[in-house]
Structure 1
Amino acid sequence: MNPPLSRTSAEAHLYMDLHPCSCGSTRFPRHSAVVALADGDLASRYTGTCEGCGAEREFVFRLPATPGRTSGGFRYGGNEPSQLLDPGEWLLVADAYAGSVPAESAGEAGQRARAALTRAVAALDEVGKFAPEGGGEIPASAFVSDRGRQLHQREPGRFRRERLAAVRGSYAELLARLG
């Protein structure tokens, strides 16, 4: 088996959060180890016991040949598109994080709001990585998950480059105002 590439640990954890156990629970204490694959590449292996039903969970992700640099703030990956999540899933993640921001964001709520908006912006950046150079919208072939395809079919206009940029700009502006 050839495990999928995870560009960062944040991307791997997000993937695990989006893939629940058969009982529906996503929570399990994650013990991680770096392991060698049969082809000599390295992978991250996450194991633990589901908090919902007690089933053993395991996820294995191939590590990049050269670790990416994530300077300039929080990022889920480098310049290449994700192999774990499709653009629809990334947009759903951005929506969830942005939707969790409270109207009043002072004190501790402000810290949570900044963290959520930071992740929403990073998820929107991931959506844009699926757009072809010079293309106006993300092609239907990029949507490989059921969730992603369903969102694209319901709201294809949300995957136009200019609309993604406008939403990202709004989130970034709100984030800047939060300080």
Structure 2
Amino acid sequence: MTPLLSRTNAEAHLYMDLHPCSCGETRFPRQSAVVALADGDLASRYTGSCAGCGQEREFIFRLPPTVTTAGSGFRYGDDEPSQLLDPGEWLLVSDAYAGQVPAQPATSEAAQRARATLSRAVAALDEVGKFIPTGGDTVPPDAFVSDRGRQLHQREPGRFRGDRLAAIRDAYAGLLSRLG
């Protein structure tokens, strides 16, 4: 099986966090190394023992041919849609991060954590939009390849419209600016 492309380390770590061990535990101390694949491409290899049951875990992700550094702020990848997560998974990640942000952080440290968390929510939301085809206005149903992504799309298909995604992103961006 050919390893899937991971556009950034952040995307690879998020993928690992969303794919638990058979015991249900997601945590494992990750050792990483760059390895050569049979076709000559490079990959990141993450290994470690599950924190829950001790089972050895391994993930291998193909590295992009070039590193993209364009843009500012936190990003999970370049302009192409993810090969690791589908749009439903990205929206669930965005929801989870946004749900951790307090309306009014009590301290400057809490505000800093809130900014970092909300930046990840915005970046995950941006990933959803990358699945909308050029000239399209919604994420197509065939883009949902995971069970959790398909389930979310079936329950709430309107959440994957471009205008709705833009409105939520604008709201998050407004909150980010108020957090300083």
State if a TM-score over 0.5 links the two structures. Answer: yes
Cα distance between partner residues in 2 of 1:90 and 1:174:
20
The verdict on how the C-alpha distance between 1:70 and 1:16 changes in structure 2, with shifts beyond 3 A counting, is: farther
> Match of 1:159?
160
Structure 1 consecutive aligned stretches of length 4 or more whose deviation exceeds 6 Å: none
Query: What's the CA shift for 1:70?
Result: 4.4
Letter in 2 for 1:154: R
**Structural mapping, 1:28-107, within 5 Å:** 28-105=28-105, 106-107=107-108
Letter in 2 for 1:129: K
Query: What's the CA shift for 1:107?
Result: 1.8
TM-score, normalised relative to structure 1: 0.98
What is the root-mean-square deviation in Å for CA atoms of aligned residues? 0.8
TM-score, normalised relative to structure 2: 0.98
Q: Kindly, what percent of the aligned residue pairs are identical?
A: 77
Deviations 1:121-166 (A, max 9, x none): 0001000000011111110000000000000000000000000000
How many residues are treated as equivalent by the alignment? 179
Cα distance between partner residues in 2 of 1:59 and 1:68:
22
> Match of 2:178?
177
Query: Unmatched 5+ residue regions in structure 1?
Result: none
Cα distance between partner residues in 2 of 1:131 and 1:158:
12
Cα distance between partner residues in 2 of 1:72 and 1:107:
22
> Match of 1:123?
124
